[in-house]
Copies of this chain bind each other. A is one copy, B any other.
Amino acid sequence: MKRLLERIDREILAAGGKRSRSRAVVIEGFFRARDHVTIEELTRSVRESAPGIGAVTVYRTLKLLERLGYAKELDFGEGARRYESNLSPHHDHLVCRQCGTVIEFKDRGIENLQDLVTRRHGFHPTAHRLEIYGFCRKCAPGNSPERFG
């Protein structure tokens, strides 16, 4: 973690930025937080140790991390965006509509077929998003007495 923060620090410096205490706290908080956080969640958690930090700084810092390639914006259609660390390799998401759990998955076969599809249309892909919405194992119809029983 220390290594990572120092590396990001160096990249910010190299890009003409300056160090700042608030930003450091937000960045560390982001990598320590559970994945797929909203700005609001992250702001709340970061303020536990550094109460003065404004939500605007959290917005700005995550935009910065995204620009540097360390964070990824997600949108599960909830109104507010979520962010995940971009350190682990690319993956897609299963999103439970009941409890909000997000399961990450990776499927080489799907990716290959996507490549075929784009090639067939002469399309040059730069990114994709695949989300499957439904009910996770725990919330599945039949396993949720209070909802279906």
Contact = CB atoms under 8 A, between A and B. Distances in A.
A62 to B, nearest CB: 16
Nearest to A73: B77
| Copies of the chain in the assembly | 2
A68 to B, nearest CB: 20
Interface in A111-137: 113-114, 117-118, 121-137
A2 B110 CA distance: 40
A126 B117 contact: no
A50 interface: no
B128 A131 contact: yes
Contact of A97 (B126, B128, B131, B140): B126
A15 to B, nearest CB: 24
Nearest to A101: B123
15 contacts: A94-B118, A107-B117, A109-B109, A114-B132, A122-B140, A123-B134, A124-B134, A124-B141, A125-B132, A125-B134, A126-B133, A127-B133, A127-B134, A128-B131, A129-B130
What 9 A-B pairs are tightest by C-beta distance, nearest first? A122-B137, A125-B134, A128-B132, A126-B134, A124-B135, A130-B130, A127-B133, A124-B140, A124-B134
Given A117-B132, A128-B132, 14 more contacts: A94-B118, A103-B121, A109-B109, A110-B113, A118-B132, A121-B137, A123-B132, A124-B140, A125-B132, A126-B133, A126-B135, A129-B131, A129-B133, A130-B130
